[in-house]
Chain A
Amino acid sequence: MRASSKVGIAGYGAYVPTFRLPTNEIARVWKGGGQGPNVEKSVASIDEDTVTMAVEAARSALRMAGLSDVGAVFVGTESKPYAVKPSSTIVAQALGFHKVLAADFEFACKAGTEAIQVITGLVGSGMVGGGVAIAVDTAQGRPGDDLEYTAASGAAAFVLANNGNDSVARIESSVSYVTDTGDFWRRQEEKFPKHLSRFTGEPAYFHHTQSSVKMLLEEMKLKPQDFKYAVFHQPNPRFPVEVAQRLGFTQAW
């Protein structure tokens, strides 16, 4: 998918909450000791949620971009404070924007990417001058589930605008590959998500990542060797390294 005119990243911002939870503490509580796959994870403070973190990341991105012509504010998250009432309108109000498209995007891990793709289309078609795409979560793990080690809190925001000399990077192309796969869900009224463990790897992560990367490489007529860096979704330390090797990105860190 390519926009009719070039779209660039004019600014970006990230927000990671101050507090940390060591994963050996999680292991101590549930397993009597040991260590998680990572040393620690970030946790939101008592007065933080995805709205507050989205605002912090977006303010940082907008300061970098120095852009006032913003026509869209999209928030992608799986942990909305309200089941009914958009997070994006609160964020837009806090940023001082009113004449904007505002919407929440829903997905387990891909919501922020969707926001970037939609704003790329809006900017590329000339419908808006610029837009803010925010990915944010206070991810939850069911008590005792392995997800508890890595489900953390943080936000990233990207300001997209027409590509110019000041752009940090240019968006050349993007693709999307979706199926209905019952890997990860949280029902209405439920506090924690559930997942089918044996679906998380092959049918979910690897199938979708490999399919979309192959689509993108075909569309752009490129191969893994043409890239210096490749970054994959990182739900745990093992999956991104393995998918990079499967796709032919030979050096993986």
Chain B
Amino acid sequence: MAVSYWRERDRYYRILGSKCQNCSAEFFPPLYRCRKCGSDKLSDHEMPQEGQILAYTLLRDPMTGFEDHDPMPIALIELNNGVRIVAQLADTPIDQITVGSKVRAVFRRVRVNGPNGQIFYGYKFAIKNEKVNLTR
């Protein structure tokens, strides 16, 4: 995992995608050829840091290494440029997640390889509602 993650760290750290220099279409994850016009002239492009939840699910039995995150909310998010992205939601009580909620990107630990291994960082999203009740 470490090598592939290292190669793609800007994608995970900054939500770095692609923008077509011919038709201005934006993509995430980054592409080598534009899906809209077929041009191979794409440049690195940072995605907007905000969007809204289109759909979500709760993983009640997360994969090995993510047991502490049970239940893990995963959302399909439409960013403000129309690009869709799948991401884990952070800091949000599960009964307060709703379709249509506005979200913003946050920088978090994504995976930790045990007590001695590397820590992998990347984007997650958090609901922007300042009235989210965390006191219960």
A interface, CB within 8 angstroms of B: 18-20, 45-49, 51-52, 55-56, 59, 81-82, 90, 93-94, 96
Contact = CB atoms under 8 A, between A and B. Distances in A.
A45 B91 contact: yes
B14 A94 contact: yes
Contacts, number: 47
Contact of A19 (B10, B91, B109): B91
Nearest to B46: A96
A126 B121 CA distance: 33
A16 to B, nearest CB: 12
B84 interface: no
A-B pairs, 8 with minimum CB distance: A47-B108, A55-B107, A94-B13, A47-B109, A18-B91, A52-B107, A52-B108, A45-B91
A48 B9 CA distance: 18
A93 B119 CA distance: 14
Interface of B: 9-10, 13-14, 46, 68-69, 90-91, 106-110, 119, 121, 124, 126, 132, 134-135
- Max chain A C-beta neighbours (<10 A), residue from B107, B109, B121, B126: B107
Contact of A45 (B14, B46, B90): B90
Contacts of A94: 13-14, 107, 121
Nearest to B88: A47
B112 to A, nearest CB: 9
16 contacts: A20-B134, A45-B90, A46-B68, A46-B69, A47-B108, A47-B124, A49-B109, A51-B121, A52-B106, A55-B107, A56-B106, A56-B107, A81-B119, A90-B121, A94-B121, A96-B14
A126 B107 CA distance: 32
- Max chain A C-beta neighbours (<10 A), residue from B14, B68, B106, B132: B106
